[in-house]
Structure formats: C-alpha cells, structure tokens
Amino acid sequence: MKKIWKMLVPVLALCMFLPMAACKKDDETAGKTVVKVAFYAAGFGTSWMEDAKARYEAEHSDVYLKLEGDPYIEETVKQRLDTKNANLADDLCVFGGGYYRYMVRNDLLKDLTSFYDETVEGEDTVDDLVNQQLKNYFTVNGKVYGIPWQDNAMSFVYNANMFDQYGWEIPETMDQFFRLCEKIRDDTDGKVNPLTYCGAANQGYFPGVMENWLAQYEGTQAMYDFLDCENAEVYQAQESGRTKVYQTVAKIIHGTDSKGRRYVDGKSRGYTHLDAQAEILKGNSAMVVSGPWMQIEMSEYLVDYPGFRMGIMPTPHINGDARDKNGNDSRYVRTSSTGVMVVPKLAKNADIALDFMKFMLTQTSLERFVETTDGLTRPFTLKNPENCDFGSNYFASTVFDLLSEKPERMIYTVSTSDIWLAGESSMWMCNDGAPVTALASLTYEQAMSEAAELAKEDYRVVKDKWNSWQVG
C-alpha cells in the first residue's frame, strides 16, 4: 500500500498543478484580446521583444501579446499561412524575409502601403522615419507589404581587456591590421593567435566582411549601381575590387608575418561559430570574425569569465589610403542585411498588430531596441542617439558606433533586380557562392593566384545565366 501511495503522490501533485497553471494562463488573458506575435529569436535573444510587449501592455491593459520566438519561425509562419486557415494565422510576424515575395505572390500578406502614411508621433509618419532603400526593396508592383526590422553588420570582434592591457590600437586599414597581428604575436610571445574564425560554418562569417571591403573599394554609388544589376557587366566592372577582396581573405587565412607566423589560429577551419567565439573569451585569440549578436549569443559562456569585455571594430579599410577606386573617401562605407515585419492577410487582430508596429517606431521604442540588443539599430531615424544608455556595456557602445556612424554610408545588400529576386544571382557567384571554401583549401600562393580567377568566375557565371534565363 505504501508503495502504491508513493507512486500516486507525484501523479496527484501533477493533477493539482495543471489546473493551477491553466488558471494562471487564463488570468493573464482574461478579458483581453490575445494578439499572436511570431518572431525570429536567435543570436539577439528575445529581450527586445519582451521589453516592447511589457511597455505596450502597460499602455493597453485590454491587450495580451502572445509571443512565440524561434530561430526557424519564418518556415513555421509559411506553413501556417499556406493552410489558408485563419485560426492558425499569426497577427504579426518578424523574420529574415526569405519567403517575403513568396508570401506576396500568394496573397498571404496585408497591404501596408497606407500604413507608411500613418503618424507615429508628432508630425513624423512611418515614411518619414524609414530607410527609403529598404522601403523600395519591400515594394512589389507599387504596393508595400512589410516594414524593415533591423540593421546588422559583420566585422572583427576583439578582446577589449587584452587590447587595453597591451595598448593595441584599433586598425583603420588592413595594412594596419596585418601589422597589428604581428605585434600581437610579439607582445604575447606567440601565445595568442591574432585572429580566429569559424571555418566549419558559414564560410567563417567572412562573406559579410567581404561585402564591406567591396563597398569600401567600389564606393557608395558604384555599389548602388551594382545592386541595380541591370546587366551582367556590373560584375565585370568589379573585377579588380573582387580580386583584392579575395586576395585579402587568402592573406588572412594563409598568410604569415615577417617572422613566418600565421595571422590566424591554425585550427580555425575546424571551429564552429561557438568554438571560434569562445577562443577570445579564453584568451587564446585576440580577435574573431563575428557580428553584433556575439555577446548575447555567448552570454552563458561569459558567466565563467567575469569582467570580460569585448568590442567590435569597424571593418578595416581594404585600401591603405581609405579611399575608393575613384579616389573618394570611403571610410565608414559598410553593408548590412535586414529583416521584415509583416501582418498576415488572415490576421484576426491586424488593427492591434499595426498599432504595435507603430508603437515600436516611436523614439522611445527605437532607443529601447538599441539598449536591449547590445547596440543594434533599426533602419529608421533615431533622432537623439545620445539618449541610448549602455551603462558599463562596452560592447553595446561599440556596436552602436559601428552601425550609427555616417548612416548615409550604410548600404543594404538587397536588390530588386529580377535575376536577384529569382535567386539566380547574388553577391558572390564563384564556386557555387562559396569563394572562401575554395580559397581555404589551397596554399597561400595558390590562393593569391586563384583570387583573380574567382573574380572572373563571378562575372562568367552571371553572364551565362543572363544569356539563358529570361529576365523581366
């Protein structure tokens, strides 16, 4: 009997707990309109959305925002909308945008064209605040079905404590970067690798940095002309710049300093992104190829490294004089990806979803987004950036500086060219879109020579596609 009683106790306890849990959930939503918000949650975490939810609900006591954050939320949303079942449709969705035009073609999204004329606060409309390049990108046949979500940027993240300890300066050009790498070896008696990267994932995160170098080399207007992609020859026009970009990658991966020491950790090719990022926490490397999400993504690891400080630097300029190919100052020219916010056509609470979207565009909300994402910005005008309070969060301040300096020189690598939208063309075309993989498998001499061939291949592949694929 005692044995049976011991077995029943956990079951009875669970039975008592479940109704209580259900009651708690009912209490949160009782008498309120439940608005379903599905959003991408990965490197930058969920704090930014939880903060927006708490502030919005504080002003709207009759609304409950039901959050669902997931790294694969876009695929989930697509599957739900494909059913055409209104009961499955979310009210607001935030994701990368890979399926954006699929959803538009299949009439799954609400037309937001008039939303851009809505007043956010004061006299500012959504259209007054939004980045126009991205508004144009999200425009399909004269109508807009989404608003941009966030900025992003790739560069080198560094161990700020180590930089302070040895008095190392942030390099402004790649020439200075390679001299810094040699100094790191000298000052640490070869015990610290200057740089590491995640060779086992995402081409080491190099492609985003390569975009920055190409933009620096070409210049702002030339990059916009490239992204218009009116013909295949835009790739050919970039041959010299692409060659230098590929050679820079080859030098980083395979090159050595004046004393024959490599610039990178020799084990980088086998590292995952977490492995590589952990190397600078451990003090084994001074820098890592990464992005603004790194501190949040590594938060669990950082518990074991109290007092550790990291920063992110502007990508050192590919040219020694920090000018583009036409001699113009191209410092701070950089590239960014983005994401999109949409309202499904079948959303039951589209009016509240739109109001919440507008709420997230107020200056207070834009500032809070920056503060809760370690300095990440959104492609909307932030009028008083000095209001953003990072406290002792050094990394956040460097991310913010990286993204907000000379905003007119931020280029979003999106294109409305038919061949891009069809997925037949993209930034890097050689070696099936994986130039870093091609370079990593070679010796230094081979890679430096191959760089020019890869640049030619970028054009050749697009030219062949252009001749065989009907554009327009």
Domain layout of the chain by residue ranges: 23-109+111-144+338-410, 155-336+430-468
Q: Which two tokens stand for residue 268?
A: 């980088």
What pLDDT score was predicted for residue 42?
A: 84
What pLDDT score was predicted for residue 8?
A: 42
Mapped to the 3 state alphabet, what secondary structure does 59-78 carry?
A: HCCCEEEEEEEECCHHHHHH
What pLDDT score was predicted for residue 2?
A: 41
Q: Which two tokens stand for residue 16?
A: 């008592």
Which residue has tokens 């620096």?
A: 216
Domains 23-109+111-144+338-410 and 155-336+430-468 share a fold: yes
Q: What is the per-residue pLDDT across 66-94, written as a single tens digit (0 to 9) for each?
A: 999 999 999 999 999 999 999 999 999 99
Q: Please, are residues 131 and 379 in contact by the beta-carbon 8 Å criterion?
A: yes
Q: Please, are residues 345 and 108 in contact by the beta-carbon 8 Å criterion?
A: yes
Q: pTM to 2 decimals?
A: 0.91
Work out the mean pLDDT of the chain and round it to a whole number.
Answer: 93
Q: What is the per-residue pLDDT across 287-307, written as a single tens digit (0 to 9) for each?
A: 999 999 999 999 999 999 999
Q: What is the per-residue pLDDT across 45-66, written as a single tens digit (0 to 9) for each?
A: 899 999 999 999 999 999 999 9
Q: What is the per-residue pLDDT across 105-162, written as a single tens digit (0 to 9) for each?
A: 999 999 999 999 999 999 999 999 999 999 999 999 999 999 999 999 899 999 999 9
Q: What is the per-residue pLDDT across 7-47, written as a single tens digit (0 to 9) for each?
A: 444 443 434 444 444 454 567 899 999 999 999 998 888 99
Lowest mean pLDDT among 1-15, 148-162, 377-391, 452-466: 1-15
What pLDDT score was predicted for residue 472?
A: 47
Q: 23-109+111-144+338-410, what's its fold?
A: D-Maltodextrin-Binding Protein; domain 2 (3.40.190)
Residues in contact with 260: Cβ distance below 8 Å, sequence separation at least 6, in sequence order: none
| CATH code of the region 155-336+430-468 | 3.40.190.10
Has residue 469 got a pLDDT over 80?
Answer: no
What pLDDT score was predicted for residue 27?
A: 78
